[in-house]
Chain A
């Protein structure tokens, strides 16, 4: 019996995205954005849309697989998977689910995507204005703990207290994203540089998060094309292989009213070891990281849980110098990420990891055979993904 793994079984052969817009500024309908990103990914792969036979997404994407298949006139649809859970915690799991369909013979060509035009729909993570509420929100909202930054700030604060992490560590993550975005023509924040003084002077959203610790809100769509790794050589670009993937949650992480046993955690304590085990790599093999910044405090925890430093080393490791391409110890969020490229609910990070392995990033890392993507931290289920070149197999 062959080993149960995704390692080396599936390749990313196409990536594509629409223009990225500020919240509410897309001239196109959300579904049209999805179609444009999917066709761009197919063009990048050099295939026709009719070759697609599966879709995968996450966080209840409104552009449904069946509508996409109909709109694109697909001869048949063989796989349609949706990762449970809200938020961007599923951005890597969606790739894994699509890859699993291919690896198990249920599909041949799966598009994984995210599309959003929040101006046409509700804001991500927003709550109802009035009435009554039950369940998790009933323990939070009446106390004014409503929006995503308000729901996550206390996890980050506890972590900072337990490990002596300083605000400057969070700041370095924000500065790295903004610095990288200045070289990225896709980035919404290109031409809007950020320095330490401006960060420090920015208003608090909720302590310990300044304005620049929080992701943007954007419109757009992004997609990738997955095929069986044995076909990877047929396509124009350098193949990028899945090395490993993991998703889920540590014990009772999603317990209501902030009762996770591992509270000061990004929820990768159980995932990261599984990811590295499947990929057969260690943190020292990883040359570049894309780590979902819903809030910078979550990135601190996520990087530590992926073994790049201990919590006690966070202040020393998380400096701007260490986090920027090409010369930093661990180039981080090299497209500008959720903070400064586009908040495509983390899917833009998957595309950037592909560019890094291809060697085509605007902020190319010199060690690019193994690229890590970390999905939304502090949510459950969370997910992560390792991509690599043929040399990494």
Chain B
């Protein structure tokens, strides 16, 4: 299964929008998602991977690690099913699933997303998942998220 784009939003609109910090360290990541590409940092000097973004490679201390495109494919490292909403936009949403996904092909960096499908599904740590981009083109500023779906 290849990565795809979804038409409906997994969570209702109204949550805060992600945006790069003023110093721009994460700007390539968010710009990549908007283009339907998953970019993470990989140091051009030592080859070390890292996420979240930083100005320096934590392994060899070379500045400005490169951004490389990786396949949005990984496996579930942990998960949670949220029942108690804490944001007004989620009040009537019912339970939803968040997963922590590790990317074995990108140095096992991890990222959080939602697990698409039945929110009451059984979730298995180690399950293979594929990324699904969710584009909020009408938001101000526009942004994109990366969710996950079991293969």
Interface residues of A (CB under 8 A from B): 126-147, 149-150, 153-155, 157-158, 161, 203-208, 252, 255-259, 263-264
Q: Is B68 an interface residue (CB 8 A)?
A: no
Measured in the bound complex, the distance between the Cα atoms of B80 and A80 in whole Å is: 40
A128 surroundings in chain B (CB, below 8 A): 16
Min C-beta distance of B89 to chain A, whole Å: 8
Q: Which residue of chain B lies nearest to A257 when distances are taken between CB atoms in the complex?
A: B52
Further 10 A-B residue pairs, CB within 8 A, beyond A126-B86, A158-B78, A258-B78: A134-B26, A141-B18, A142-B15, A142-B143, A143-B11, A143-B98, A154-B78, A207-B80, A252-B58, A256-B51
Q: Which residues of B contact A132 (CB under 8 A)?
A: 16-19, 141
Contact (Cβ within 8 A) A143 B14: no
Q: Complex: how many Å from CA A154 to CA B110?
A: 12
B145 and A142 within 8 A (CB): yes
Q: Is the CB of A129 within 8 A of B87?
A: yes
A130–B11 CB distance below 8 A: no
CB atoms of A133 and B88 under 8 A apart? no
A127 to B79, CA, bound (A): 21
Whether A138 lies near B84 (C-beta < 8 A) is no
Distance of A259 Cα from B53 Cα, bound (Å): 11
B14-51, CB under 8 A of A: which get 1 and which 0?
11111111100010001000000000000000000011
Smallest beta-carbon distance B35→chain A, Å: 18
A selection of 27 A-B contacts at a CB cut-off of 8 Å is A126-B86, A127-B16, A128-B16, A129-B87, A131-B16, A132-B17, A136-B52, A137-B16, A139-B18, A140-B112, A141-B16, A143-B11, A144-B90, A144-B98, A146-B15, A150-B86, A154-B79, A154-B80, A157-B79, A158-B77, A158-B100, A204-B83, A206-B80, A206-B84, A207-B80, A256-B51, A259-B109
Are the CB atoms of A144 and B16 closer together than 8 Å? no
Taken together as a complex, chains A and B put the C-alpha atoms of A376 and B82 apart, in Å, by: 22
Instruction: Report whether B58 and A203 are in contact in the complex, using a CB–CB cutoff of 8 Å.
Output: no
- Residue from A127, A132, A208 whose CB has the most chain B CB atoms within 10 Å: A132
For residues 69 through 117 of chain B, which have their beta carbon under 8 Å from a beta carbon of chain A? 77-84, 86-88, 90, 96, 98, 100, 109-114
How many residues from B make CB contacts under 8 Å with A? 43
- Alpha-carbon separation in the docked complex, A138 to B24 (Å): 13
Report Cα–Cα, A158/B125, bound state, in Å.
8
Task: Kindly state the separation between the CA atoms of A204 and B113 in the bound complex, as whole angstroms.
Answer: 20
Nearest A-chain residue to B20, judged by Cβ: A134
**CB proximity of A342 to chain B, nearest CB, Å:** 22
Residue of A150, A256, A258 touching B100 (CB-CB under 8 A) = A258
Q: Report which B residues bind A (CB closer than 8 A).
A: 11, 14-22, 26, 30, 50-53, 58, 77-84, 86-88, 90, 96, 98, 100, 109-114, 125, 141, 143, 145, 147
Contact assessment for B86 and A147 in the assembled complex, using a CB-CB cutoff below 8 Å: yes
Report the Cα distance A135→B81, complex, angstroms. Answer: 23
Nearest CB of A to B150, in Å: 17
**Who on chain A is nearest to B95 by CB?**
A204
Q: Are A135 and B90 in contact (CB under 8 A)?
A: no
**CB closest chain-B residue, reference A149:** B84
Q: Which residues in A have their C-beta under 8 angstroms from that of B90? A: 144
Q: Give the chain B neighbours of A144 by CB distance below 8 A.
A: 11, 15, 82, 87, 90, 96, 98, 114
Please tell me which one of the listed residues B20, B53, B98 contacts residue A150 in the complex, with CB atoms under 8 A apart. B98
The 9 residue pairs across chains A and B that have the minimum distance between CB atoms: A256-B52, A138-B18, A134-B21, A132-B19, A158-B78, A154-B78, A153-B80, A204-B83, A147-B86
Q: State the CA gap A21–B31 with chains docked (Å).
A: 47
Nearest-Cβ distance from residue A248 to partner chain B, whole angstroms: 17
Contacts A134-B18, A252-B58 known; A143 to B84 CB distance under 8 Å?
no
Minimum C-beta distance from A195 to chain B (A) = 22
**What CA separation (Å) do A258 and B100 show in the bound complex?**
8
Q: Does B84 lie within 8 Å of A203, measured CB to CB?
A: yes
Q: Is A134 within 8 A of B19, CB to CB? A: yes
**Chain B residues within an 8 Å CB radius of A157:** 78-80, 125
Chain B residues in 8 Å Cβ range of A127: 16, 87
Q: From known contacts A129-B87, A204-B81, infer whether A141 and B110 are also in contact, taking CB-CB under 8 Å.
A: no
